[in-house]
Amino acid sequence: MSNSPKTLFDKVWDSHVVRQIADGPDVFFIDRHFIHEVTSPVAFLGLEQRGLGVLFPEKTFATADHNTPTINQHLPVEDPLSANQLLQLEKNTSKYGISHWGLGNPKNGIVHVVGPENGITLPGMTIVCGDSHTSTHGAFGAIAFGIGTSEVEMVLSSQCIMQPKPIKMRINVNGQLGKGVTPKDVALYIISKLSTSGATGYFVEYAGDVFENMSMEGRMTVCNLSIEMGARGGMIAPDQTTFDYINGRELAPKGADWDKQLTYWKTLKTDSGSVFDKEITFLASDIEPMITYGTNPGMGMGISRNIPQAKDLEGGASSYAKSLDYMGFEENDSMIGKKVDYVFIGSCTNGRIEDFRAFASIVKGRKKADHVTAWVVPGSHVVEAQIHEEGIFDILTEAGFALRQPGCSACLAMNDDKIPAGKYAVSTSNRNFEGRQGPGSRTLLASPLVAAAAAITGVVTDPRQFL
Amino acid sequence: MAYDSFKVLRSSAVPLPIENVDTDQIIPARFLKATERKGFGDNLFRDWRYDKNDQAKSDFILNNPTYSGKILVGGKNFGSGSSREHAAWAIYDYGFRCVVSSFFADIFRGNSINVGILPVQVSPEFLHQIFTAMEKNPKAELEVSLPEQTITIVSTGASESFEINGYKKNNLLNGFDDIDYLQSMKGEIATFALNR
């Protein structure tokens, strides 16, 4: 044991290195592997072609979420290609003895929602999934990141992947967040400052008062969006908030095992004097409710501001013009008052109970604007049940909103939940890329509060006027 | 052996001077529904390449017969966004074996090498030189040498070296992949797992 100070990231990474290859990557051991129907079939096919088995089936967990419908889930899935992917997931998991929470299972939901809510995600773990938003699980002090299908095959066959160790960045946000400023706004603010590639090559630790005072749901939202600034992942040191969230969850450790694990988890923090390759500090008071105006998540700003001019941005003026042209916006435009056609609340970014509580806090006692189509999609059946238990369902119904069934839905529009070409959607999801929510769709990323305000007024609206 | 080995590639190239090309553009999510790794090249850059009636858009570079080749040259931050390996499959299936940019997103870079595409990161200045050479002569050739770790604009002789770690270089040169390597150390992995 070396006495030199270590970061949280180093502690977790170093304890999972099986072998270091000179002038090459680390052979990196994976504790938890999540799979879903879209990025796993070719990996299972690869196993078959090579005649390999699954080394530790009990360390892999499957759920169906990416292409599943969000209405009438009791009926057969109409799209034959989606139905086939779901069938393959069922067959593959059954063949190799892997846990599978498919469509209709009460534990089904978005992979990054169901992992934590069932106690599968724990501090100090290494977690991967063929999905870039796997960074979500970093909220628990785990190293979690997205992988490609070749790597899914590696984890299935050997429980390891081969990864060069990323360099380290710490992002501090200090002070107290203002009224109506949510974890989503904190993340969109950071991304707008760093750009979509500003953290590429880094693994991020989030620190400071703002994250210490944040709920687990909020921390998950922040870590989820780490990939949108290019970081492989982001993590937050586990603390009492983390332990309280985990305690009692179905697959979480119990009894003596809990005590033993808790002792270890309490060591998972960055030692004072640790050095990061880069460190950035922001002030909470500089952050207001955010909204994006362009075609990548770095193109965001405080909702009261005007769209920046290309001359004020570094490089890429032609890409910037292309982006605004796609969105139908002009430099200097105010976003407030822009017409909204669709509102989407859900996804692995903002599909947890706290997000629906926030949404309901604004729509309560008000009515949805007639011209707005709203898709309200819980992240899991557990979240759906909470929405009913807490009376949020009644508030939504009263205000003219229907609740759909869990899944990734309009975030990536693999199912029928597609925003039509040219239409504007305020979305609580994570990507505003061209066509992300359907061919030709135009996405404005925002928090559940901004989404709620837009759903009520039918235009982009500062939510603070309703609070 | 999952793919053809890569040694020296001399080819004309296709320029795509756009920044932040994300994997949703490379292959939109609605084309991720296959359960086999086949035919993804048909949908490479689908929504930039075809209009909503599936007619080829004449102003998109892949529909311009003047440009062709096994090398794709993209703007800064190529391959950002989703981890879908389908993006790399689509590029490979279309016929590209090398992607050049001044900056790559992490996951895309890893996925590329894992499917047998060489990502070559060059300086912004050299990228500009490549685009200029291709503007002058759409058939301008690039030579990418993996053993030497160099990329050269054949017409001007301008050359730059690029980085790749020794392990990955050896894989690409020989057509090996990580799964072969990991299988060779299964005993060590099992022992590691037991001691955790």
The residues pairing with B121 across neighbouring beta strands, listed in sequence order, are B101
pLDDT digits (tens, 9 = 90+) for A33-73: 999 999 999 999 999 999 999 999 999 999 999 999 999 99
Helix axes B106-115, B166-174, angle to 10 degrees: 40
Residue B113 lies in a domain: yes
Mean pLDDT of chain A: 97
Q: Inter-chain contact B177–A19, Cβ cutoff 8 Å?
A: no
Mutate to test the interface with B, among A45, A152, A155, A200 (most CBs of B within 10 A): A200
Q: Inter-chain contact A232–B18, Cβ cutoff 8 Å?
A: no
Q: Inter-chain contact B185–A27, Cβ cutoff 8 Å?
A: yes
Q: What is the mean pLDDT of residues A231-244?
A: 98
Mutate to test the interface with B, among A87, A160, A411 (most CBs of B within 10 A): A160
Residue B35 lies in a domain: yes
pLDDT value, residue A340: 98
Residue B3 lies in a domain: no
pLDDT digits (tens, 9 = 90+) for A124-149: 999 999 999 999 999 999 999 999 99
Residue B39 lies in a domain: yes
Distance from CA of B142 to the nearest CA of A (A): 24
ipTM, 2 decimals?
0.96
Residue B62 lies in a domain: yes
Q: Which of B25, B17, B33 is nearest to B49 (CA)?
A: B25
Task: Please say if the pLDDT value at position B185 is more than 80.
Answer: yes
Q: Which residues of A touch B37 (CB under 8 A)?
A: 42, 45
Asked if B187 reaches chain A (Cβ–Cβ under 8 Å), the answer is no
- How many domains does the structure of chain B reveal? 1
Strand blocks (E) in A1-130: 17-20, 26-29, 32-35, 60-63, 99-101, 126-129
pLDDT digits (tens, 9 = 90+) for A63-103: 999 999 999 999 999 999 999 999 999 999 999 999 999 99
pLDDT digits (tens, 9 = 90+) for A324-352: 999 999 999 999 999 999 999 999 999 99
pLDDT value, residue B2: 61
Of all residues in chain A, the percent with pLDDT exceeding 70 is 99
- Place A248 in a pLDDT band, splitting at 50, 70 and 90: very high
Q: CA–CA distance from A135 to each of A224, A252, A356, A445 (Å)?
A: 5, 20, 22, 19
Distance from CA of A408 to the nearest CA of B (A): 12
Three-class DSSP category at B91:
helix
pLDDT value, residue B55: 97
Q: Inter-chain contact A24–B33, Cβ cutoff 8 Å?
A: no
pLDDT digits (tens, 9 = 90+) for A264-307: 999 999 999 999 999 999 999 999 999 999 999 999 999 999 99
Locate the chain B residue with the closest alpha carbon to A156: B179
Asked if B96 reaches chain A (Cβ–Cβ under 8 Å), the answer is no
Mean pLDDT of chain B: 96
The 10 Å Cβ neighbour count of residue A465 is 10
One DSSP character per residue, A256-317 reads HHHHHHHHHHTT-SPPTT---SEEEEEEGGG---EEE-SSSTTSEEETTSBPPPGGGSSS-H
Task: Please say if the pLDDT value at position A1 is more than 80.
Answer: no
Asked if B1 reaches chain A (Cβ–Cβ under 8 Å), the answer is no
Task: Please say if the pLDDT value at position A383 is more than 60.
Answer: yes
Query: What CATH number is given to the structural domain containing B170?
Result: 3.20.19.10
pLDDT value, residue B1: 42
The 10 Å Cβ neighbour count of residue A309 is 12
Continuous segment of H or E residues that includes residue A425: strand A424-427
In chain A the domains, ranked by start, together with CATH numbers, are 8-164+240-262 (3.30.499.10), 167-238+270-286 (3.40.1060.10), 291-466 (3.30.499.10)
**CA triplet B170, B174, B175: central angle to 5 degrees?**
110
One DSSP character per residue, A195-248 reads -TTTTTTEEEEEESHHHHTS-HHHHHHHHHGGGGGT-SEEE----HHHHHHHTT
Residue with tokens 């037991």: B194
Joined tokens for residue A393: 């369902």
Burial state string for B122-141 with b = 16 or more CB within 10 A and e = fewer than 16: beeebbebbbebbeeebebb
Q: Which residues of B touch A79 (CB under 8 A)?
A: 33
Residue B1 lies in a domain: no
Q: Inter-chain contact B84–A148, Cβ cutoff 8 Å?
A: yes
pLDDT value, residue A421: 97
Q: Which residues contact residue A282 at a Cβ distance below 8 angstroms, ignoring those fewer than 6 apart?
A: A171, A172, A173, A174, A189, A190, A193
- Domain containing B64: what range? 8-194
The alpha carbons of chain B give a radius of gyration, in whole angstroms, of 18
Residue B161 lies in a domain: yes
The residues pairing with A342 across neighbouring beta strands, listed in sequence order, are A373, A425
Maximum C-alpha span of chain A: 64
Residue B2 lies in a domain: no
Question: Distance (Å, rounded) from C-alpha A389 to C-alpha A383?
Answer: 10
Residues 118-137 of B with CB under 8 A from A: none
Task: Please say if the pLDDT value at position A20 is more than 90.
Answer: yes
